[in-house]
Structure 1
Amino acid sequence: MFRLDVPALLAVVKARGDHSQAAIARRTGIAESSVSRYLRGEAQPDLNCAMRLAEHYDLDLRGVIKRVPIEAVA
C-alpha cells in the first residue's frame, strides 16, 4: 500500500509560499475539503489528484508517496 508523506509534501508546499489548505486548493484545483483530508491523513489522493500536486509543485511522486507495509495500515 502507498501513503502520502504529508511532512514531505508540506515542506515543498511551504517553500512555494502556500501556507494554507485554501492556497493549496487554489493552486491545484483540488477541493479544499479533499486537501484537508489528505493533510490529516484521513484520505489518500487518487492518481489524478496526486498528479495535480506533482505538476503544480514540481514534485517527483516517489518523494512524497511512500510504500507502507500492509500490517502498519491496520
Structure 2
Amino acid sequence: MYRLRITRLWEIAAAHGDTTRAAIHRRTGIAESSVHRIVSGQSQPDLNSALRLAEAYGVQVEDLMQRTDADTESVPA
C-alpha cells in the first residue's frame, strides 16, 4: 500500500506559496473538504487526487507517495 507523504506535500505546496488547505484546494481543484481529510491524515487521496496534486505542483506522484512497511515486508528479496 502507498501512503501520502503529508509533510512532503506541505513542503512542495509552500514552495509554490500555498500554505493553507484552501490554497491547495484552489490550485488543485480538489474539494476543500477532501483536502482537509487528506492533509490531516484522515484519508488517503484516490488516484485522481494524487495525480492532480502532482500535476498542480509539477512533481511526480512518486514524490508525494511512499510505500508502507506492510508492503515492503511482503516484497521478496
Deviations 1:14-48 (A, max 9, x none): 00001110111011110011101111111000010
Percent of aligned pairs with the same amino acid: 48
- The 1-side partners of 2:48 and 2:8 are apart by 19
| Corresponding residue number in structure 2 for 1:29 | 29
Q: TM-score, normalised by structure 1?
A: 0.90
How many residues are paired up? Answer: 71
Answering whether residue 46 of structure 2 is matched by residue 46 of structure 1, we say yes
Aligned to 1:66: 66
Per-residue displacement from partner, 1:35-71 (whole Å, max 9, x unpaired)? 0111111100001000100111001111110000238
Alpha-carbon distance in 1 for matches of 2:69, 2:7: 19
Any runs of at least 4 consecutive aligned residues in structure 1 with deviations exceeding 2 A, and if so which? none
Consecutive unaligned residues in structure 1, runs of 5 or more:
none
Distance 1:64 1:51 in 2: 10
In structure 1, give the amino acid aligned to 2:49: C
TM-score, normalised by the number of residues in structure 2: 0.87
